[in-house]
Amino acid sequence: MFKSFHPPVRTLMGPGPSDVNPRVTAAMGAPTIGHLDPAFVSLMDEIKQLLQYAFKTKNRLTIPVSAPGSAGMECTFTNLLEPGDKAIVCQNGVFGGRMKENVERCGATAIMVQDAWGSAVDPQKVEDALKANPSVKLLAFVHAETSTGALSDAKRLTELAHQYGALSLVDSVTGLGGVALDVDGWGIDAIYSGTQKCLSCPPGLSPVSFGERAVAVIKQRKHKVQSWFLDMALVMAYWEGDGSRTYHHTAPVNSMYGLHEALVILAEEGLEQSWARHAYHHRALAAGVTAMGLNFVVKQEQRLPQLNSITVPEGVKEAEVRARLLKEYNLEIGAGLGALAGKVWRIGLMGESASQTNVLLCLGALDAILSDMGAPINSGKAVSAAMAVYKQ
Ligand SMILES: *Cc1c(COP(=O)(O)O)cnc(C)c1O
């Protein structure tokens, strides 16, 4: 006989999903109602307003796509690009490579700007590429590269795109709620995010926002968007039809309850306070990691507070450390991806996971396991180094 599934209770300090606030899971357990129920329609309106707050935008076209972050990526590319278009794609980790795939599947050409994994996107290289390719429709880049922990200057890159007449398309799946982001202030034209990173919501939805210039581009399309499900013209009629919403797909009703609650929690804390909390716990974690004698992949001024890539010390079996953290401490941290597979650990401090309890647990557990394995670290120093930051 099959039995009910009871997941273990874990502490999630990987690259997402992050720890979920119990208020969010409780909200998701509320009774399911019809997706055209007037009560649900008001919830949708509030989710839009809360997302506008989180993105710092007045964009009307700000909604959660009913699928995870990768669908938000696909949604922004398929709506903005048509066959024959050219786009500049910056790659400094895994996700830039996925952007390239998306561009090509739209029948467009991707002009790649490459930076080392672990570095921010170099604005000078981007400017050179924009200069060399005057007919480019958009510049796409990852704000917070989760595969390496590098933060790129979304404001500067967006300015450059505009200076050369291109739109900016930004992946802030890991950025939203965790680091400074100002969609209107910086003039970002299209952006997508996810729920399971710094919003601390279960995975499954992808907030997106399109500015006026992007909406104008969508309205002038010559070809239909190749994806029926992600066609913003159709989705808009579902989310926006004043008084007369037309059925497009059945919204994941209970997931929307969860996103709403997660955004209410963010608004209660305050967006800027949330950014500051991520930075604060990062400082404590970094003090502990450094005291242990371990090294960060990304240089200090380009580091994401919410994603800490740490080089695995010489001779240490990285997968065994993660397996022991999970088994002995119920603690999940991330492995390296792509070019960094086997070489780094990725410690997430996203949303609810950015807390003193988590930082001290992670440092204490890593210290104990690495010391037990005879790894070349400074044993017994990490927790007190982090505590010194907390006591300041
Ligand atoms: C997680 C992530 C994605 C993909 O989101 P999914 O919800 O896993 O589909 C895209 N870009 C970045 C930078 C991410 O961190």
Q: Is the pLDDT confidence value at 279 over 80?
A: yes
DSSP three-state, residue 79 = helix
Domain-ending residue, one of 206, 237, 268: 268
Report whether residue 70 contacts ligand 1, using a CB cutoff of 6 Å.
yes
Note whether 309 and 226 are same-domain residues.
Answer: no
Report whether residue 16 contacts ligand 1, using a CB cutoff of 6 Å.
yes
The CATH number of the domain holding residue 128 is 3.40.640.10
276 band by pLDDT with thresholds 50, 70 and 90? very high
Instruction: For residue 144, give the ligand 1 atom closest to its CA.
Output: 13
Cis peptide before 17 (omega within 30 of 0): yes
Residue among 95, 198, 199 to mutate when testing ligand 1 (max atoms within 8 A of CB)? 95
Which residue's CA lies nearest to atom 14 of ligand 1? 173
Q: Which residue has the tokens 């079996």?
A: 317
Report whether residue 142 contacts ligand 1, using a CB cutoff of 6 Å.
yes
Give residue 284's domain range.
Answer: 271-390
Domain-ending residue, one of 268, 302, 326: 268
The CATH number of the domain holding residue 373 is 3.90.1150.10
Per-residue pLDDT reduced to its tens digit, 16-33: 999 999 999 999 999 999
Report whether residue 201 contacts ligand 1, using a CB cutoff of 6 Å.
no
Per-residue pLDDT reduced to its tens digit, 26-71: 999 999 999 889 999 999 999 999 999 999 999 999 999 999 999 9
Residue from 12, 47, 35, 26 nearest 197 by CA: 12
Report whether residue 258 contacts ligand 1, using a CB cutoff of 6 Å.
no
Q: Which residue has the tokens 């890159």?
A: 157
Residue from 81, 65, 75 nearest 220 by CA: 81
Torsion angle, CA of 330/333/338/344, rounded to 10 degrees?
Answer: -120
Note whether 264 and 298 are same-domain residues.
Answer: no
Interval between CA 336 and ligand 1 midpoint (Å): 15
Note whether 29 and 55 are same-domain residues.
Answer: yes
Residue 343 is predicted with a pLDDT of 96
Q: Which of 33-42, 250-259, 349-358 has the lowest mean pLDDT?
A: 33-42
What are the distances in angstroms from CA 274 to CA 176, 315, 351? 10, 37, 8
Domain-ending residue, one of 244, 268, 292: 268
Note whether 155 and 278 are same-domain residues.
Answer: no
Note whether 54 and 169 are same-domain residues.
Answer: yes
Note whether 288 and 224 are same-domain residues.
Answer: no
Residue from 235, 219, 212 nearest 44 by CA: 235
Report whether residue 194 contacts ligand 1, using a CB cutoff of 6 Å.
yes
